[in-house]
Amino acid sequence: MRYVVTLIIVLCLVCWAGVSQRHRILIEFLSSGEPPPLLDAADEGAETTWYDDYFTIEALGPRTYAIGEPRYAQQNYSYLIIGSERAVLFDAGPGFRDIRGVVESLTEQPVTFVPSHFHYDHTGNTVTFERVAVVDLPYIRERARSNVLTLTWAEHLGSSEGVALPTLKIDEWLAPDSIMSLGDRRLRVLYTPGHTTDSISLLDMGTGMLFSGDFIYPGPLYAFLPNSSMGDYMYAAENVLANASEGSRIFGAHRVAPPGAPELALSDVKDLKASLEQIQAGTASADGLYPREYMVNEQLWLLAEPAWLQEWALTVNR
């Protein structure tokens, strides 16, 4: 009986995988279409203070803060980087609560919101910011008539938690490898696709800190979504390794457990690149049917499509 069930599941998967809408079917099937219930508040350690019953604040260094949403199911972290002339808010969570109050409690500088990518749990959605900067890629720029960009379902995925597609009014375009000046601080925009084609990380040129969005964080890395690409992921790992320094502290956008902000090291990016090479060569072991789960190290693992569906070409012309 077990073999019959397995055979039916495999046959269904084969049929389904041939459908170009497989991502949409998967996400709509697996998600509730509603915001998830809040998690209980946990002990976040001595470094973290609670701003209210939802947001946390953790100083990572001078004028650099992790703003946590540890009670949200995806345990998002956004980052406030403050310079002498302006500040950057890298990600804004799903917007179920308004992050602007937390930000304004930490700086009086004008704040530019920079999404690490366009998924709904980073764009803040109904929360709007005075200044918005996004990655400058030809296919995005082409769509943003008069610098107004309405996201697509595949870019945003908000229907999974009942979040409507937002429209972003863009004030600043961030070319890959360009420098954002905050006055006395400079951030390099690193193009780190793979999770999505629109993913960037920010490298603080002064402290060496890397803010990595969903490219890398402790936990499951999603490389099987719409706009995901294994070839792009490899490019992102190489790009980070070429630009970050050995001692770089890496802060991701999610964690799986308390306490505090999710932090990794450059060795984790090296492990990720080594895993990608093994996956591409067909020598990596994995669990599960879909997605396939490849262990990278004891802290992170990569969720990818089965080998025959993996895309290894670089999908975006920079």
Q: Return residues touching Zn ion (CB under 5 A).
A: 119, 214
Using the minimum distance from each CB to Zn ion, give the nearer residue, 90 or 182. Answer: 90
The token duo for 124 is 């803040």
Using the minimum distance from each CB to Zn ion, give the nearer residue, 48 or 201. Answer: 201
Residue type, 31: S
Rounded to a whole number of angstroms, the minimum distance from the CB of residue 32 to Zn ion is: 18
Rounded to a whole number of angstroms, the minimum distance from the CB of residue 262 to Zn ion is: 14
Query: What is the DSSP-derived secondary structure letter of residue 35?
Result: P
Rounded to a whole number of angstroms, the minimum distance from the CB of residue 26 to Zn ion is: 15
- Give the helix/strand (H/E) hosting 132: strand 131-135
Q: Which residue has the closest beta carbon to Zn ion?
A: 119
**CB-count burial class (<10 Å; 0-12, 13-18, 19+) for 107:** middle
In terms of residues, how long is the chain?
318
Bridge partners of 150? 167
Q: What is the CA radius of gyration of the chain?
A: 19
The token duo for 286 is 């994995």
Rounded to a whole number of angstroms, the minimum distance from the CB of residue 291 to Zn ion is: 14
Rounded to a whole number of angstroms, the minimum distance from the CB of residue 106 to Zn ion is: 24
Using the minimum distance from each CB to Zn ion, give the nearer residue, 214 or 232. Answer: 214
Using the minimum distance from each CB to Zn ion, give the nearer residue, 119 or 255. Answer: 119
Distance CA 171, CA 198 (A): 17
Using the minimum distance from each CB to Zn ion, give the nearer residue, 106 or 168. Answer: 168
Distance CA 70, CA 68 (A): 6
Using the minimum distance from each CB to Zn ion, give the nearer residue, 22 or 119. Answer: 119
Rounded to a whole number of angstroms, the minimum distance from the CB of residue 11 to Zn ion is: 31
Rounded to a whole number of angstroms, the minimum distance from the CB of residue 226 to Zn ion is: 11
Using the minimum distance from each CB to Zn ion, give the nearer residue, 83 or 262. Answer: 262
Using the minimum distance from each CB to Zn ion, give the nearer residue, 214 or 268. Answer: 214
Distance CA 200, CA 141 (A): 15
The token duo for 58 is 């953790």
Q: Show the 3-state SS of 175-193.
A: CCCCEEECCCCEEEEEECC
CA distances for 88 relative to 42, 187, 211, 317, angstroms:
28, 9, 11, 27
Query: What is the per-residue DSSP string for 1-23?
Result: -HHHHHHHHHHHHHHHHTSTTHH
Rounded to a whole number of angstroms, the minimum distance from the CB of residue 175 to Zn ion is: 21
